[in-house]
Chain A
Amino acid sequence: MNIDSITNGVVIDHITAGRGMTLYTLLGLDKLDCSVAIIKNVTSRKKGKKDIIKVDADIDINFDVIGYVDSGATVNIIRNGALVDKRTIGMPRTLTNVILCKNPRCITSAEQEINHVFTLTDKENGIYRCIYCETKA
């Protein structure tokens, strides 16, 4: 299967197989007008299988979202057909309005204006908790 290379844009590579669609949704890529390709289950020497997302436009990427969904993913910035920047993403310490607190007793469920903020409380197990009620993400 062939996907055209991009001239100016972003390639998110080494996404753990199966997480590509989650990233697509959380990054809001469904709202873009440009070409976006999600390639699932690509053969990977390191991981066996991986997902890749290619965005054919110069967009601002929320690295915190990528780090939260899959801290092993890499982000490649392409300009004029050449790789100009390659970043590996770690787990962010805080997430703001990336995910919503599901606890109905949390103040965020009652007041819509409050940012939904989660902090990384257990790096080893990748656990984030709501800063208001401490409910696990």
Chain B
Amino acid sequence: MRSLIDIRDFSIDEINSLINVANDIIENPSKYSEKCKGKKLASLFFEPSTRTRLSFEAAMLELGGSVLGFSEANSSSASKGESVSDTAKTVSCYADIIAMRHPKEGAPYVAAQNASIPVINAGDGGHNHPTQTLADLLTIYREKGSFENLTVGFCGDLKFGRTVHSLILALSRYSGIRFFLISPTELKLPSYVKKDILQKNNIPYEQVTSLDEVMPQLDILYMTRVQRERFFNEEDYLRLKDSYILDLEKLKTAKDDLCIMHPLPRVNEISVGVDDDPRACYFKQVLYGKYIRMALILMLLEVE
């Protein structure tokens, strides 16, 4: 029995296999509409997350399965002090697979150790969010046809953005990848990510503070939100916030086939004017997130 707690739990072959299944689901949805008939997904969300929860639930429903669970800790036994391990053991008696979001880092791992059914980490605090990474990978594959020989720019908060760290890790396993890390000094990629992933794998990368100067070289631009609360003083925030707002003016120098991604929710870092540009892929990314979760559920439930 497998679970998915960390994107590193899956080999490149397994990720490629998931992407192949997701592509097949996109091409032939009716073939999959009853694959999980009679199966139940327990969606255990100890903190609210509209997008991820609905994505998991939609994924299971489109596979013909059903869904039970809760959307915040207050409506679960956690509010009475029940441990994660007890919740996992109990839910194993009712459902066939668990998708868990929890504010504490490592909680889904504890659940996986105690459950008798597969557990999917749907986000554990600022630690891991592997299905977001899978959604990002499927988006890149659908838009670019491959993971190789791509120049990828990550822009915004690279210090605290777990989606950025996970995607860098996942892409570093492919050849010909090059990164531009575009952020204010205060929000640079942590040195352990650079050392443990980029330098260890000899991945070429450059840290810059200006999005404009690297825009023409990018195949993929992964935007993240620059959050006010991450800055020590208001002046720095005000000085930097606008330099990372993507608008049509900034896109003038970009490639015609640039793929603009964002894990969402967006606040103001991508102007709504960009939404109609064919290079905007962030809402497709949401849709692909559902398909890759469908593929993942099939894989973990060992449904052929």
Contact = CB atoms under 8 A, between A and B. Distances in A.
Contacts of A109: 104
B126 A107 contact: no
Interface stretch (B10-18, B28-36, B106-114, B254-262): B106-114
B164 interface: no
Contacts of B64: none
B75 to A, nearest CB: 18
A105 B125 contact: yes
Interface residues of A, number: 15
Contact of B104 (A107, A131, A134): A107
Interface string A93-122: 000000000010111111101100000000
B107 A105 contact: no
A130 B109 CA distance: 12
Interface string B120-137: 000011110000000000
A113 B103 CA distance: 18
A34 interface: no
A61 interface: no
A133 interface: yes
Please report whether the interface of chain A is mostly helix, strand, loop or mixed according to DSSP: loop
B199 to A, nearest CB: 13
Interface centre among B83, B102, B103 (most CB of A within 10 A): B83
Which of B105, B110, B124 is the most central at the interface, judged by chain A CB atoms within 10 Å of its CB? B105
B106 A106 contact: yes
A105 B104 contact: yes
A132 B84 CA distance: 13
A109 B124 CA distance: 14
Nearest to B5: A132
Contacts of B107: 107, 132
A107 B107 CA distance: 6
A133 B107 CA distance: 9
A132 B105 contact: yes
Contacts of A113: 83, 85
Contacts of B124: 107
A114 B84 CA distance: 10
Interface string B76-120: 000000011100000000000000001111110110000000000
Contact of A134 (B84, B103, B110, B127): B127
Closest 5 CB pairs of A and B: A132-B106, A133-B105, A107-B104, A107-B106, A107-B107
Interface of B: 83-85, 102-107, 109-110, 124-127
22 contacts: A105-B103, A105-B104, A105-B125, A105-B126, A105-B127, A106-B104, A106-B105, A107-B84, A107-B106, A107-B107, A107-B109, A108-B106, A110-B104, A111-B85, A111-B110, A113-B85, A114-B85, A130-B106, A132-B105, A132-B109, A132-B110, A133-B106
Given A109-B104, A133-B125, 14 more contacts: A103-B105, A105-B125, A107-B84, A107-B104, A107-B107, A110-B104, A111-B110, A113-B85, A114-B85, A114-B110, A131-B109, A132-B106, A132-B107, A133-B105
